[in-house]
Structure 1
Amino acid sequence: MSSSDASLPAEPVDFDVDLTGHEMTRRAHVMEALGDAWDPVETARGEEEAYDLLYSGLDEEQQRLYDSLVAAGVLPRR
């Protein structure tokens, strides 16, 4: 054993870090950045409309691929 090994602890040391305060600060900054006009329901509705538009008007091959991705659980059933 070298002299540098002698300073290492023989047993594992518990190491705990509580990030609760940091997480609350992060969330506060996110909400501040979103602003007072942010409407989560409207945002979700807009995302659904975007997905509907994205998957509309598919040709036969695209529809087949889409259906196989849904069947495999890669995309949600719409």
Structure 2
Amino acid sequence: MSDKDSSLPAEPVEFSVDLTGHEMTRRAHVMNALGAEWDPVEVMRGEEEAYDLLYSGLDEEQQRLYDSLVEAGVLPRRA
């Protein structure tokens, strides 16, 4: 071991970084980018409509596969 190494601590030094302020700034930027017109409820409705459309009109084989994926927990059960 050289003389330089003897100045290093023998044990690891613990430190922590609080990112709370950064996270709040990040969230503020996201909300600003979404704009005042963004409506999260309307977005969720649109997503539900898209899923309804996606899983409608399945043929027999597609329906069987869909049902098996739901049963396996891969896809959520839909009303």
Question: Structure 1 length as normaliser, TM-score?
Answer: 0.91
* In structure 2, distance between residues paired with 1:74 and 1:8: 51
Percent of residue pairs identical: 86
How much does 1:3 deviate?
A: 4.1
Is structure 2 residue 23 aligned with structure 1 residue 23? yes
User: Where does residue 70 of structure 2 map in the other structure?
Assistant: 70
RMSD: 1.2
User: Where does residue 9 of structure 1 map in the other structure?
Assistant: 9
Q: Which amino acid aligns with 2:71?
A: A
* In structure 2, distance between residues paired with 1:4 and 1:59: 73
How much does 1:7 deviate?
A: 3.5
* In structure 2, distance between residues paired with 1:77 and 1:17: 41
Question: Structure 2 length as normaliser, TM-score?
Answer: 0.90
Gap regions ≥5 residues in structure 2? none
Is structure 2 residue 45 aligned with structure 1 residue 45? yes
* In structure 2, distance between residues paired with 1:4 and 1:57: 73
